[in-house]
Structure 1
Amino acid sequence: MAILGNIIKGVINLRNSISSETDHVDNQKETFKFLLEKAKHTEFGQHFEFSKILKSEVPYKEFKSTIPYFSYDKIHNDWWHKLHEGKDNVTWPGHPSYFALSSGTTGKTSKRIPVTDDMIEAIKNAGIKQVLAMENFDLPADFFEKEIMMLGSSTNLEKNNEHVEGEISGISASRIPFWFRGFYKPGEEISKIDDWDERVQKIAEHAKKWDIGALSGIPSWMELMMEKVIDYHQVDTIHDIWPNLRVYTSGGVAFGPYEKSFKRLTGKPVEVVDTYLASEGFIALQTRPETDAMQLLTDNGIFFEFVPFQPEYINPDGSLKPDSPSISIEEVKLNQDYVLLVSTVSGAWRYSIGDTIQFTDIAKAEIKITGRTKFFLNTVGSQLSVNKMDAAMKRLEDQFDIDISEYTICAKRGEDDEFYHYWYLGTSDTSLDSSKVAEALDEALQAANKNYKVARTKALKGVKVHLIKPKVFYDWNARNKKKGGQVKMERVMNEDKFQEWEKFVREQ
């Protein structure tokens, strides 16, 4: 009998049975007040008169009218640069112990996002909530005795002056509590290996020694790891190595584009649980199996705001225009794309992390990620967001019986001086007629998006498709020193970046 597993499952069941329905509006009001109270004596809090805002009869309205929106560049140039000069109490009390390195999907220079002890505690609390939520997925007791493969960035963090820095997944893994270390794989030694390929090679060599019950990480890199393990041991699926694998915790990107290729690597059904861990904090997690939507963590050190995702509110670089309207959680509507803003216990304020979301259930505060503000393609009025592109990829997968795990797109003029959308699709079957795929893609986008359909009758001449192996996308990221960890492929490129990309593809 799985004694330990039954004990853990019993504790989870008890915790869930005594918890009541969460009031997310009240949670956010309390979080808002807590953040301002704690930061009111910081340099930022004094500059923007947090004490005055807290005394206002309409504090959130005062907050909105007083504090501007911040992109990373703006908050770094105005405030966070002082942290690197050794100053304390800048945007949050004290000094951050860590900085999360994040180059995102488009930048070449790493962002350095402060991660305070309060944020580390919030991430740990979110992890506990995730474990508690597993009761809802009706897993057997022995699942809670299996090991967990957490595939993130290296835990070999770098010391830089008075702080330590690395990707958020590496920071989180380096802070794993002692009681969990026996469950955690690939373990401390392998996790410290900086080189991604070397780390995955070691995982493959040790794989048969482990009894993995759950995987956690970005889908694209998880698939590469599984392919390596399968190939190394000359088996058909990952379940031939890890027969008790039951759960995959995805994160950072929508799992939909990877679903078909992921299933190809498994021999049994695997429960996919979405999470939303960004460099700025643990945003949301999936709490029930009936939906793939995730619940915002409204009581965990982050105050959320939402800006309707409309072209007139977005600058070409994906940042928000200063006069764009924002709302709190009590005003949101279903099926409306919003730009997500966060104010956090790490001292981010009205900060756009660059993601767009939709609410699928307002009472439960459940959302899904719909795209990136930088990956919104509106050349000649086509208004394509990532969720529309992902849906088109799914339709192509079904129509041509292929898997498309990666893609990128650019709008530019062709040799005839007309505008086209140029697509590169990553699929294992590159023998298909690309012109037929382009025709089907064009039809799918017109059916799903009226703005795109209008654009096709005017300035957008057509669609051109190139089919390439998914490995090319991963090699591109590797060339840019962005392999593994939290790295995601840029879905939309500008013309300069696309020129580099096409040159890279030709050289492969």
Structure 2
Amino acid sequence: MAVIGSIIKGLIHARDAVVSDPDPYEAQEKVLKGLLEKAKNTAFGKHYEFEKILQSDDVQTTFAEKVPFFDYNKINEEWWSKMHDGQENVTWPGKPPYFARSSGTTGKSSKRIPVSDDMVEAIRQTGIKQVGTLSNYDLPSDFFEKEIMMLGSSTNLDEKEDHAEGEISGISASNIPVWFRNFYKPGVEIAEIDDWDERVLEIAKEAPNWDIGAITGIPSWTELMIKKILEYHDLKNIHEIWPNLHVYSTGGVAFEPYEKTFEKLLARPVTVIDTYLASEGFLAFQSRPETLAMKLVLDNGIYFEFVPFKPEYISEDGSIKENTPVVQLKDVKEEEEYVLIISTVSGAWRYLIGDTIKFTDVARHEIKITGRTKFFLNVVGSQLSVNKMNDAVKELEKKFNLTIPEFTVAAVKKDGEFIHKWYLGVEGKADEKELAEALDESLQEANKNYAVARSKALKGVEVVTVDPKIFVEWSGANKKKGGQVKMEKVMNEEKFAKWEKFVEEQNPGH
């Protein structure tokens, strides 16, 4: 038995035994008051009179009444852009040492989201919390001596006059403590390589020299990394080179669509642990093996609010309409979808992060990400969210014995009538008309609004099957490969036309 691993495991168990969760509602009120107190003398805090809000008998309700919702475009135009011009004390004290660049899933231009020293520390503390919950999993003692492959974006940050810029995974990795660097792979030198393909090639070359126990990364890019390693060393599965791989930690993307693909790359099942690390902060993580849901981090620099995810509250561009009601943590209900709103120690205020979630367990404050506000397909009243689409695609996988790790869909006009046109990234062969019929039937059974739309204005469903690699190349052509980049599941007509042209160029005559 690995002695050091046993000691580490024992320490984690001991820590877990003495550390108890705070009262969630008191914790959230304390976080909000702390945010307001620290930012009350910033330009934002003075403008929205944080001092007066703090004097209120009900700080949370008053905060919601006095401060409007912000999406990235609104807060950047009105406030964060001032930081880019060199101003300090704008929405958070001082100047941020980092800006997290996020192309997200909505376009080629990068967002620049401030990351304060307080946020870097909050992310570190939440990481420690997550490590503490490993005691809930049945992992061998020697797992705690193994190395961790952190497949994020490049740690070679762009140094500006008074700050550095990069993706949040690169910023986090560049702040890894010295004691952890012996465990961290691919290591500083390889992690600094900007080009994704070059970085993954170097990882493949070095793979035999590492004893990896856990991998963290977005599923689509992790899959490509593993495939590259298998190809480079002519292997059948990743356990041939990393026999002690026990854990895969995903983040920000539902793992279910990639489950079948991953099974083919492994010799045996691994423990999948989901995390929710966004450019705006480390929001939640899976804390126990009985569920794939994630526990919100309620006492560490992020204040949460929730807007019911209903068509009457959401604009076509995914933003929240004025005078939309907000729900506090104490009033949320299980299995209802909400738009997530956050205020943070980086100076994001009532900020629409763009994700939709549902509570799977209100008592434990566990959530699942169900989609993106901009991935809500509601042309002609179909009201389809990404989780409904994911479920339908999983049914296709089972029914036709296929692997479908990627898809995108748009409402387009054909002969003057709206249809839903799907592109499925399929491993294997299937009849496109049969897929379309099965997909349509599944969605009608699962969604009453969709069924009504299909009986009226939504005149049909079409499916085109393509090689899943095309989705990767699309990301490379429009944004970049690797890191935090996620494929958009729903496109507007303009973007979809570009997508179709790209597919035709990649696959002429399809």
| Aligned AA (1:406) | E
Q: Find the residue that maps to 1:79 and give its secondary structure.
A: helix
Cα distance, 1:60 vs structure 2: 1.5
Residue-by-residue CA offset, 1:144-176 (whole Å, 9 max, x unaligned) = 000000000000000122110000000001111
Native 8 Å contact 1:356 1:373 kept in 2: yes
Cα distance, 1:21 vs structure 2: 4.1
Partner in structure 1 of residue 416 of structure 2: 417
The whole-number CA distance in structure 1 between the counterparts of 2:165 and 2:329 is: 32
Partner in structure 1 of residue 351 of structure 2: 351
Task: Name the TM-score, length of structure 1 as normaliser.
Answer: 0.99
Which residues in structure 2 correspond to 1:115-130 (within 5 Å)?
115-130=115-130
Cα distance, 1:428 vs structure 2: 1.4
Native 8 Å contact 1:151 1:222 kept in 2: yes
Which residues in structure 2 correspond to 1:222-261 (within 5 Å)?
222-261=222-261
Residue-by-residue CA offset, 1:173-200 (whole Å, 9 max, x unaligned) = 1111000000000000000000000000
Partner in structure 2 of residue 383 of structure 1: 383
Which residues in structure 2 correspond to 1:56-455 (within 5 Å)?
56-414=56-414, 416-429=415-428, 431-455=429-453
Native 8 Å contact 2:435 2:463 kept in 1: yes
Q: Which runs of 5+ in 2 are unaligned?
A: none
Q: Find the residue that maps to 2:69 and give its secondary structure.
A: coil
Partner in structure 1 of residue 497 of structure 2: 499
Partner in structure 1 of residue 481 of structure 2: 483
Cα distance, 1:138 vs structure 2: 1.5
Task: Tell me whether 85-94 or 192-201 shows the greater mean CA deviation.
Answer: 85-94
Cα distance, 1:103 vs structure 2: 1.2
Partner in structure 2 of residue 463 of structure 1: 461
Q: Find the residue that maps to 2:89 and give its secondary structure.
A: coil
Percent identity reads: 63
The whole-number CA distance in structure 1 between the counterparts of 2:266 and 2:444 is: 34
Native 8 Å contact 1:24 1:298 kept in 2: yes
The whole-number CA distance in structure 2 between the counterparts of 1:310 and 1:121 is: 35
Q: Which runs of 5+ in 1 are unaligned?
A: none
Native 8 Å contact 2:107 2:479 kept in 1: no
Cα distance, 1:19 vs structure 2: 2.1
Cα distance, 1:62 vs structure 2: 1.3
| Aligned AA (2:446) | A
The whole-number CA distance in structure 2 between the counterparts of 1:26 and 1:237 is: 48
Partner in structure 1 of residue 54 of structure 2: 54
Cα distance, 1:7 vs structure 2: 1.1
The whole-number CA distance in structure 1 between the counterparts of 2:140 and 2:61 is: 48
The whole-number CA distance in structure 1 between the counterparts of 2:208 and 2:20 is: 42
The whole-number CA distance in structure 2 between the counterparts of 1:406 and 1:22 is: 39
Which residues in structure 2 correspond to 1:8-27 (within 5 Å)?
8-27=8-27
Residue-by-residue CA offset, 1:275-326 (whole Å, 9 max, x unaligned) = 0000000000000000000000000100000000011111111011121111
| Aligned AA (1:401) | N
The whole-number CA distance in structure 2 between the counterparts of 1:16 and 1:159 is: 39
| Aligned AA (2:282) | F
Task: Name the TM-score, length of structure 2 as normaliser.
Answer: 0.98
Native 8 Å contact 2:306 2:329 kept in 1: yes
Q: Find the residue that maps to 1:423 and give its secondary structure.
A: strand
Partner in structure 2 of residue 44 of structure 1: 44
Native 8 Å contact 1:24 1:364 kept in 2: no
State the Cα RMSD in Å.
Answer: 0.8
Partner in structure 1 of residue 33 of structure 2: 33
Q: Find the residue that maps to 1:194 and give its secondary structure.
A: coil
| Aligned AA (2:467) | K
The whole-number CA distance in structure 2 between the counterparts of 1:363 and 1:34 is: 24
Residue-by-residue CA offset, 1:232-291 (whole Å, 9 max, x unaligned) = 111100111111100000001111111111111111110000000000000000000000
| Aligned AA (2:489) | R
The whole-number CA distance in structure 1 between the counterparts of 2:366 and 2:383 is: 25
Residue-by-residue CA offset, 1:335-363 (whole Å, 9 max, x unaligned) = 11000000000000000010000011111
The whole-number CA distance in structure 2 between the counterparts of 1:30 and 1:59 is: 10
| Aligned AA (1:87) | Q
Q: Find the residue that maps to 2:155 and give its secondary structure.
A: coil
The whole-number CA distance in structure 2 between the counterparts of 1:203 and 1:428 is: 25
Native 8 Å contact 2:103 2:479 kept in 1: no
| Aligned AA (2:103) | S
| Aligned AA (2:422) | W
Aligned length: 506
Q: Find the residue that maps to 2:213 and give its secondary structure.
A: strand
| Aligned AA (1:496) | E
Residue-by-residue CA offset, 1:81-115 (whole Å, 9 max, x unaligned) = 11111111111111100000011101221110000
Native 8 Å contact 1:158 1:164 kept in 2: yes
Native 8 Å contact 1:403 1:428 kept in 2: yes
Native 8 Å contact 1:275 1:284 kept in 2: yes
